[in-house]
Amino acid sequence: MKKLCIKCFILILKIIYFPIKFLKIQRKVVYISRQFNKGTLDFDLIVKDMEEKYPNVKNVVLAKRMEKGILNKVLYFFHMIVQMYHISTSKIVIVDSYCIVVSVLKHKKETKIIQIWHAVSAIKKFGYQTIGKTTGADKIIADTMCMHKNYNYILCSSKVTKNYFIEAFNVKEENIKYLGLPRIDYILQKDVEKIEEIYNTYPELKNKINILYVPTFRKFKKVKINDVIQRIDTKKYNLIVKLHPLDKKNYTYLQKDGVIYDDNFKSYDWLKMCDKVITDYSSLAMEASLLEKPLYFYIYDVKIYNEDPGLNFNFKKEEIGKYATNSAKKLLKMIDREYDYNILEIFKNRYININYNNCTSKITKFIMELMNNEYKEEIETEVIKSSQEELNV
């Protein structure tokens, strides 16, 4: 019954889209996201560069989450019609997550669709890697909803991540382009004003070592951070906790002097000013390695994650696994000891092994090559060769 309802829904979309497809294509790029209700960092950086370098190209950002509730779903349906209009009249469509309209409908041959997934890599499995698992999609639903179909290109940051993306998006290697993500530029950009703004907001950060803790969101489960908070020496350290918005909404956590729960700044801004980083299964780990900050993994539920959704990352085989533990006590002992930066360098070169200078500029150049029908398949961003990329995963 559910499959039949979905097919009827898709038929309605196709009927609505049919006359819209007769509209003329413009020199336009449309950016579609279900991650937030406003433009994402990656979208903002691309749009800014496009507007500066290619002012004759129109940029339209459509960012809207599909919220719970009948009214919200009805409103989102009308938003999908807006998406149809802009897809039909755009030469380039850029998405950062699954988009129903992009995947279930048949688009013009001239329209090129680029997936810039909202993560540099993927420690956790997702997409087709998790079909049939509790946290993944049902196979029948995934097939009916054409999950992750119609992408011409998927941006990637390493040969290792390529393997994950090929599985997760169910695509061929020829669909992968080694261009990285705009956020890499943002992370590497020095921002003295933003750091000063953080210090002005939290003046207590000036006198101690600052540790950023960014745990992965766990659906239907509270993040286990109280053990770390109880044990951390707040005379020596400040602990800045960046929780997922739903964690903040659904649960309460231990309050303690020296512990800050922040909602004012991006995780990427905190990366620039913190001294050490703790995470678990988030691709923020790869992004943090760009700044060469000591990186630790608090993986107290790694056995559960290995089963569902599954992990692409084997902490026992990776060199950086030296700094992974399921014990809060061991974690804090690691943090107190001297750090091996050679291990961090190996980790970074394995998961971001492109030439990552000016990623945004390379992406906008690629967009314009597609826009002007000048792109040739043999043209690719240089991938930095290293012994690490030759390892099998």
In the chain, alpha helices (H): 2-20, 41-53, 70-88, 100-104, 139-144, 159-169, 182-188, 192-201, 226-231, 245-250, 267-273, 284-289, 302-307, 328-336, 341-351, 359-371
Per-residue pLDDT reduced to its tens digit, 295-333: 999 999 999 999 989 999 999 999 999 999 999 999 999
Task: Provide the whole-model pTM.
Answer: 0.91
Which domains can be identified in the chain, with CATH numbers?
2-180+357-390 (3.40.50), 191-351 (3.40.50.12580)
Tokens of 83: 């998406």
Cα 114 to chain centroid, rounded: 14
pLDDT exceeding 70 applies to what percent of the chain?
Answer: 94
Place of tokens 């991650």: 35
**pLDDT tier at 382, thresholds 50, 70, 90:** very low
Average pLDDT over residues 197-226: 91
In which region does residue 360 sit, left (phi positive, over 0), alpha (psi from -120 to 50) or beta (all else)?
Answer: alpha
**79 pLDDT exceeds 90?**
yes
Distance in angstroms (rounded) separating the CA atoms of residues 13 and 27: 25
Mean of per-residue pLDDT scores for the chain? 91
**pLDDT tier at 217, thresholds 50, 70, 90:** confident
Per-residue pLDDT reduced to its tens digit, 147-158: 999 999 999 999
**383 pLDDT exceeds 60?**
no
Nearest residue to 33 (alpha-carbon basis) of 88, 89, 79, 69: 79
Place of tokens 């998006």: 169
3-state SS string for 82-140: HHHHHHHCEEEEEECCCCHHHHHCCCCCCCEEEECCCCCCCCECCHHHHCCCCCCCCHH
**347 pLDDT exceeds 70?**
yes
Nearest residue to 183 (alpha-carbon basis) of 57, 321, 303, 291: 291
**390 pLDDT exceeds 60?**
no
Burial group, residue 224, by CB count within 10 angstroms (0-12, 13-18, 19+): middle
Residue 243, SS3 per DSSP: coil
Contact 389, 383 (CB under 8 A): yes
Distance in angstroms (rounded) separating the CA atoms of residues 298 and 305: 13
Place of tokens 């918005």: 245
**pLDDT tier at 381, thresholds 50, 70, 90:** very low
Distance in angstroms (rounded) separating the CA atoms of residues 298 and 201: 27
Average pLDDT over residues 97-103: 96
With the C-alpha atoms ordered 276, 278, 281, 283, is the resulting torsion angle positive or negative? negative
**384 pLDDT exceeds 70?**
no
Tell me which of 220 and 101 has the higher pLDDT: 101
**pLDDT tier at 220, thresholds 50, 70, 90:** confident
Tell me what pLDDT residue 46 has.
98
Contact 57, 27 (CB under 8 A): yes
Per-residue pLDDT reduced to its tens digit, 264-282: 999 999 999 999 999 999 9
Contact 338, 373 (CB under 8 A): no
**pLDDT tier at 377, thresholds 50, 70, 90:** low
**pLDDT tier at 137, thresholds 50, 70, 90:** confident
Average pLDDT over residues 80-87: 98
**385 pLDDT exceeds 50?**
no
Tokens of 270: 């905190």
**pLDDT tier at 388, thresholds 50, 70, 90:** very low
Per-residue pLDDT reduced to its tens digit, 185-204: 999 998 899 999 999 999 99
